[in-house]
Amino acid sequence: MPNKPVSTPQEFPDRLTTTIQELTDVLSQEITLLKTSRPGEVQTLLPLKNELIATYYREMAELSSHGGLQASGDGKAIRRLKQETRIFQTVLGRHKRLVMSLKKISENMIRAISEEVVRTQNRANRYAADGSKSVRKSPTSISLNQTV
């Protein structure tokens, strides 16, 4: 249903409202899966979420190319669209906070493991190939500085 083209400008708010509701439902499902420690199951929602996001952008572009909200729909449809948009923004904010906190937890866990490896390597006696003690003073861990 997300790829169905909109036929008249008066239908834009209704189609956009439906897309926003579906996208809100998908994000809510993702939040539930992440909170219940099932991030692997989030991948099953990705194709639907990507399709809905593409539909959302396409419908927003069509809406703006036909004069925006003022030129389409009646007041009731526009009010419903605005209400759904507020709900969507709330869910989107919760989703962003949850993803960012999980990212920070993962980064801190990797950093802690890395530091523990460094401490462990510092305690071990190292010998060079010729049997003498190694002069390597302080091993350091390699961490990736990459923004996801």
Residue ranges of domains in the chain: 9-95
Q: By the 8 A CB rule, do 29 and 45 touch?
A: yes
* Confidence class for position 6, pLDDT limits 50, 70, 90: very low
- Using CA atoms, how far residue 66 sits from 18, 22, 52, 56, in Å, is 19, 23, 21, 15
Mean pLDDT confidence for 110-128? 76
Greatest mean pLDDT among 39-43, 99-103, 127-131: 99-103
Q: Is the pLDDT of residue 138 over 60?
A: no
- Give tens-digit pLDDT for 70-100: 777 678 888 898 999 999 999 999 999 999 9
Contacts of 17 (CB under 8 A, 6+ apart): 77, 80, 81, 84
The HSE-up count of residue 9 (CA atoms within 13 Å, CB side) is: 12
